[in-house]
Amino acid sequence: MLDPSLLRQKLAETTEILRATRGFVIDAPALDALEVKRKQVQVETENLQKLRNELAKRIGLAKNKGESVDDAMAQAAAIPAQLKANEEALGQVQAEILTITLRVPNIPHESVPAGVDETGNIELRRWGVPKIFEFTVKDHVDLGARGRMLDAEAGAKIAGARFTVLKGGLARLHRALAQFMLDLHTTQHGYLEVNVPHLVLRSAMQGTGQLPKFEDDLFAIKSDPDNAATERFLIPTSEVPLSNLVADEILDEATLPLLMTAHSLCFRAEAGSAGRDTRGFIRQHQFEKVELVHIAKPEQSYAQLELMVGHAEKVLQLLELPYRVMALCAGDMGFSAAKTYDIDVWLPGQNSYREISSCSNCESFQARRMQARFRNAAGKPELVHTLNGSGLAVGRTLVAVMENHQQADGSIAIPVALRPYLGGLTSI
């Protein structure tokens, strides 16, 4: 959520920035009207409180003099009801303001490229050279057909479209990839491993920005349809529970930056993605990911973003997978992000680079929604900056390993770094 002062004192300027960078138009007239109403109710409340204090003094003086206090008492008796009505009116206005502001995206950092979609993204660097194969390249679907190790039909029979069953060697390789990533991040990159719930409250989803804007892309569960308090959401990424661990907390400055990682299932309904990547293991309703989350002081956060990208890159380097790093333009960034780098891995079966990691600095946008703070050097609470990224998406990494390390006979060569996790196997 943006700093409220930007929407109160610099509404026109903020509206223009978001329109120009993200193509998002704030409902400025509605916010203006609500702000006028809020100020009016607040002034009335302050006047009532002042009158209450004045009446209390007047009643006290009159009693000391033996004078009648009936009129003053009558006036004072009416004030609590008026204050309560004003409190309810103020709460209603604030709720309406919140409804609007929760749907306003973050302001892009000044270094973010201009652009309205992915065509405005800028390639920063590449690592590795795509292999030239001496045989006809297969994609991961055809490679997985051997022994039905990647079985979309079985997944659809059990759960419907966009669910896949992994079997045998691929199931084992998938598990090994997740363990390899966790070990790398915890032993070499300094992350704290965390095991998180896969179901979270609405407040947690709102804290990281998935709600209210992206409700249609989430899987919601209510154990009691008549009781909203029982509502839970399946996590779209463990960014949500990891980041919310610091919600409503005031952290010790000495503990920052805090680096956390988690391997979890992720669930996305992806209501707006019909027709895209329906074949194969690229876009699933259920998938696994190793998430990276940094909680940092404001002055640390952009250095931490570069560090996080490097950690994700290291996974790909050790797995011998060619990739490129892209700086996303303003129009292609996620709702909560102030700056984002995507890492795209080379997929020979598609003859293209595809996203495998997205690393973002959200600055104080999520922290303000979560009230996640630290006590600064002056002893005052200050909002932290939150960062999140994939380190990596496990299923897409599996696809990349299959396609880049495929052999002429249809087997998959195992990268050297992964072999200890597969009992020394060199291929599957």
Q: Model confidence over 322-342: pLDDT tens digits?
A: 999 999 999 999 999 999 999
Per the annotation, the verdict on 172 as an active-site residue is no
Secondary structure element (H or E) that encloses residue 173, with its range? helix 168-187
Where are the domain boundaries for CATH 1.10.287 in the chain?
27-101
For residue 392, say if its preceding peptide bond is cis, omega within 30 degrees of 0.
Answer: yes
- Residue of 264, 358, 360, 390 marked active site: 358
Per the annotation, the verdict on 324 as an active-site residue is no
Per the annotation, the verdict on 238 as an active-site residue is no
CATH class (in words) of the domain with range 27-101: mainly alpha
Q: Model confidence over 348-358: pLDDT tens digits?
A: 999 999 999 99
pLDDT at 270 over 90: no
Least confident of 74-83, 234-243, 364-373, 395-404: 74-83
Complete edge-to-edge strand list for the sheet that includes strand 231-234: 199-200, 231-234, 220-222
Q: Stretch 306-330: mean pLDDT, rounded?
A: 98
Identify the pLDDT of residue 272: 55
- Residue of 202, 232, 268, 369 marked active site: 268
Identify the pLDDT of residue 283: 93
Quick check: helix, strand or coil at residue 340? strand
Per the annotation, the verdict on 355 as an active-site residue is yes
The CA R_g of the chain, rounded to the nearest whole Å, is 27
Residue whose C-alpha is closest to residue 103's, from 217, 218, 206: 206
The pair of three-digit structure tokens given for residue 166, joined into one six-digit string: 């992994």
Identify the pLDDT of residue 227: 82
Identify the pLDDT of residue 349: 96
Question: How far is Cα 6 from Cα 1, in angstroms, rounded to an integer?
Answer: 11
Identify the pLDDT of residue 108: 98
pLDDT at 181 over 90: yes
* Topology of the domain comprising 118-422: BirA Bifunctional Protein; domain 2 (3.30.930)
The pair of three-digit structure tokens given for residue 198, joined into one six-digit string: 């896969």
Identify the pLDDT of residue 153: 96
Where are the domain boundaries for CATH 3.30.930.10 in the chain?
118-422
Q: Is the pTM of this model over 0.75?
A: yes
Provide the pLDDT confidence category of residue 275 given band limits of 50, 70 and 90.
low
Residue whose C-alpha is closest to residue 106's, from 347, 404, 414, 366: 366
- Residue of 8, 283, 324, 419 marked active site: 283
Residue whose C-alpha is closest to residue 190's, from 297, 305, 292, 340: 292
Residue whose C-alpha is closest to residue 113's, from 339, 309, 305: 339
pLDDT at 197 over 80: yes
pLDDT at 228 over 90: no
Quick check: helix, strand or coil at residue 12? helix
Per the annotation, the verdict on 396 as an active-site residue is yes
Q: Stretch 276-290: mean pLDDT, rounded?
A: 88
Length of the chain: 428
pLDDT at 271 over 80: no
